[in-house]
């Protein structure tokens, strides 16, 4: 009986495992069916869209071609009218001159016949008057009439090869592509943004430029967000937890037209955007509070982020703009700083203090208020400074604290320094900040 019971349990276990395997197999098949359905929908939707695009394009071409032909016909007819009027005008003038001569000759004939057949007493006087009149008219002077070879004979020269050229051009116009040469590859969440990467999938296609477009899931039209030669771009001003649809295309080397669009894909970020805190008298902020301008106020201090929105594993980027309205505005100062810190501490005019790492505008790097021997290039107008950090645990970390360190990489102008930042407390997130002694500095953070 014990052996039978063990065998029954074994059979039951095998049956349950088979049932679970069957369920898993069914789920996998259902998922593949959904994948097939999505593929079928993509083919049908893209085919429908392509038909609509082709019909609209060729209808536009037909309308434009008819308009161009009508305009050309009208131009040629106007040219015929102009030549006809210009050529007929001297003939009309000659005709008027001849008709006037015929009328004058008729009058002269009537006078001559009257003089010849008139009364004998008045004949000599009439004949004398008629002769003088005939000499005055100059009967031997006749207007010149152009021969037919000297007047225009209009005709139309129409080259039948135009139809052949149009036929060849029309038959080779347009292509239907089943796969675009570039596709979206990766979406990386950024604070208030998404890093979009794409790649070529056609090795024979030589790309000169790429064109990235996006739209909110609720919008009806895509808009350009990047055109250039890079294969990645950070799209800023993205609302957190909202789906955005992206697509990319490319332009071949030496070509003007763009390739077909990639398959649209959705991207989203859950990270709130980096923002500077408001209310500090020495700084003016943009409407999105991601750009800070050191104004003309005499007040100075450290401008911190609104919240500790920088997390280890992310890249924090500062981009500098030096307005330089006059030479003395925007000048660097050794106390200037850009960096991150564990907490906000008021009363300081620089981040060169404890529990902070920063870079000065002269390129000096400070860790907990101490200057490192390694130095980066000076920060000037157009400079980009990035902070990258990763956790390197040293000791136990608890709510009461514990020592651990962060591996920090600061990059500026294609150079970087790497060091370990030892702290006495756990920091899941950090504040960022900046301080400038003189007005004119403008900083974008993302």
Residue 225 sits in a domain whose CATH number is: 2.60.40.10
* Cβ neighbours of 61 (radius 10 Å): 13
- The domain in which residue 188 lies consists of 182-269
Residue 325 and residue 410 share a domain: yes
Confidence of residue 49 (pLDDT cuts 50, 70, 90): confident
SS3 content of the chain, % helix, strand, coil (to 5): 35, 30, 40
- The first and second tokens of residue 27, run together, are 């789920």
Residue 179's contacts (CB-CB under 8 Å, 6 or more residues apart) are 201, 202
* Domain annotation covers residue 341: yes
Residue carrying the six token digits 């899941």: 428
Between 398 and 430, the more confident residue is 430
Whether residues 389 and 312 share a domain: the answer is yes
CA angle 305, 273, 285 (to 5 degrees): 55
Are 244 and 347 found together in one domain? no
Other beta carbons less than 10 A from residue 238's beta carbon: 22
- Asked whether the beta carbons of 415 and 262 are under 8 A apart, the reply is no
| pLDDT tens figures, 211-266 | 999 999 888 899 999 999 999 999 988 999 999 999 999 998 888 889 989 999 99
Per-residue pLDDT band for 418 (boundaries 50, 70, 90) equals: very high
What is the arithmetic mean of pLDDT over 143-151? Answer: 82
| Paired residues of 196 in beta bridges | 187, 233
Question: Is-contact 54 174, C-beta < 8 A?
Answer: yes
pTM of the model: 0.60
Give yes or no: residues 168 and 186 share one domain: no
Asked if 167 and 188 sit in the same domain, the reply is no
Cα separation of 69 and 65, whole Å? 6
Distance CA 129, CA 136 (A): 11
Which helix (H) or strand (E) segment is 61 a member of? helix 2-116
What's the sign of the alpha-carbon dihedral 72, 73, 78, 79? positive
* C-alpha distances in Å from residue 407, one per residue of 369, 388, 417: 17, 8, 11
Residue 17 lies in a domain: no
- What does the angle CA 54 – CA 175 – CA 46 come to, to the nearest 5 degrees? 55
Q: Is residue 16 part of a domain?
A: no
Query: What pLDDT does residue 397 have?
Result: 52
What CA–CA distances, in Å, run from 79 to 65, 66, 90, 248?
A: 21, 20, 18, 49
Is residue 97, in this structure, part of any structural domain at all? yes
Asked if pLDDT for residue 322 goes beyond 50, the answer is no
Evaluate if residue 392 carries a pLDDT over 80. Answer: yes
Pairing mode of beta strands 310-311, 370-375: unpaired
Q: How confident is the model at residue 127 (pLDDT cuts 50, 70, 90)?
A: confident
Query: Helix, strand, or coil here: 395?
Result: coil
Boundary residue ending a domain (172, 199, 222): 172
54 & 106 share domain: yes
Instruction: Report pLDDT for 227.
Output: 95
Q: Across the chain, what does the average pLDDT equal?
A: 86
Q: What is the CATH number of the domain that holds 349?
A: 2.60.120.920
Whether 110 and 228 map to the same domain: the answer is no
Quick check: 326 pLDDT over 50? Answer: no
Measured distance CA(356)–CA(435) in Å, rounded: 13
Closest C-alpha to 180, from 265, 119, 73: 265
Does residue 224 sit in the same domain as residue 96?
Answer: no
At which of 218, 239, 269 does a domain end?
Answer: 269
State which H helix or E strand residue 133 sits in.
Answer: helix 120-137
Q: Is residue 351 domain-shared with residue 214, that is, in the same domain?
A: no
- From CA 291, how far away is CA 261, in angstroms rounded? 33
Residue 18 lies inside a defined structural domain of this protein: no
Residue 317: inside a domain, yes or no? yes
189 lies in the same domain as 143: no
User: Would residue 177 count as lying in a domain?
Assistant: no
Considering the domain architecture, whether residues 168 and 54 belong to the same structural domain is answered as: yes
Question: Over the stretch 344-387, which tens digit does the pLDDT of each residue have?
Answer: 998 899 999 999 999 999 999 999 999 999 899 988 878 889 99
Helix (H, G, I), strand (E, B) or coil at 64: helix
Sorted by sequence, the CB contacts under 8 Å of residue 157 that are 6+ apart come out as: none
Output phi, psi for 357, to 5 deg. Answer: -125, 140
Give CA–CA dist 425/162, Å, rounded: 82
**Which pLDDT score, from 0 to 100, does residue 402 have?**
52
pLDDT at 323 over 50: no
Tokens of 331: 């000048």
What is the secondary structure of 162-221 as a DSSP string?
HHHHHHHHHHTS----SS-SEEEEEEEEETTEEEEEEEES-TT--EEEEEEEEEETT-SS
Is 361 found in the same domain as 252? no
**Shortest CA distance to 191 belongs to which of 276, 278, 303?**
276
End of a domain among 204, 236, 269? 269
Task: For residue 12, tell me if it sits in a domain.
Answer: no
For 185-208, the pLDDT digits (tens) are 999 998 889 999 999 998 888 999
What is the domain count for the chain? 3
Q: 12 CB contacts (<8 Å, ≥6 apart)?
A: none
């Amino acid at each position: 009986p014990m052996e039978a019971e063990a065998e029954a349990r074994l059979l039951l276990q095998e049956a349950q495992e088979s049932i679970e395997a069957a369920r898993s197999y069914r789920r996998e098949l259902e998922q593949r069916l959904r994948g097939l359905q999505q593929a079928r929908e993509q083919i049908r939707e893209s085919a429908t869209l392509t038909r609509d695009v082709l019909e609209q394009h060729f209808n536009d071409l037909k309308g434009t071609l008819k308009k161009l032909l009508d305009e050309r016909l009208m131009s040629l007819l106007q040219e015929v009218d102009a030549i006809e009027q210009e050529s007929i005008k001297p003939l009309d003038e000659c005709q008027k001159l001849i008709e006037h001569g015929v009328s004058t000759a008729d009058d002269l004939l009537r006078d001559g016949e009257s003089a010849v057949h008139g009364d004998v007493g008045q004949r000599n006087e009439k004949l004398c008057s008629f002769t003088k009149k005939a000499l005055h008219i100059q009967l031997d002077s006749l207007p010149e009439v152009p021969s037919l070879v000297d007047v225009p004979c209009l005709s139309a020269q129409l080259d039948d090869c135009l139809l052949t050229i149009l036929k060849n051009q029309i038959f080779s116009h347009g292509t239907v592509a089943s796969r675009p040469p570039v596709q979206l590859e990766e979406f990386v969440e950024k604070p208030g943004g998404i890093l979009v990467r794409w790649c070529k999938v056609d090795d024979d296609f030589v790309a000169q430029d790429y064109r990235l477009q996006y739209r909110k899931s609720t919008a009806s039209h895509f808009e350009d967000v990047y055109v250039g030669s890079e294969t990645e771009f950070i799209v800023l001003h993205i609302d957190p937890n909202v789906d955005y649809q992206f697509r990319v295309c490319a332009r071949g080397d030496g070509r003007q037209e763009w390739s077909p669009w990639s398959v649209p894909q959705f991207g989203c970020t859950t990270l709130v955007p980096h923002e500077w805190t408001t209310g500090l008298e020495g700084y003016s902020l943009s409407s999105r509070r991601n750009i800070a301008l050191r104004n003309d106020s005499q007040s100075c201090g450290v401008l911190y982020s609104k919240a500790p929105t920088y997390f280890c594993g992310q890249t924090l980027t500062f981009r500098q703009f030096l307005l330089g309205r006059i030479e003395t505005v925007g000048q660097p100062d050794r106390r200037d700083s850009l960096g991150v810190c564990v907490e906000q501490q008021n009363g300081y005019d620089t981040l060169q203090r404890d529990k902070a790492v920063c870079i000065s505008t002269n390129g000096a790097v400070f860790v907990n208020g101490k200057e490192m021997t390694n130095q980066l290039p000076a920060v000037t107008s157009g400079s980009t400074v990035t902070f990258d950090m990763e956790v390197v645990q040293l000791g136990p970390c608890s709510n009461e604290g514990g020592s651990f360190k962060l591996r920090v990489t600061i990059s500026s102008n294609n150079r970087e320094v790497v060091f370990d930042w030892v702290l006495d407390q756990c920091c899941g997130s950090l504040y960022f900040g900046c301080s400038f002694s003189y007005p004119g500095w403008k900083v974008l953070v993302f």
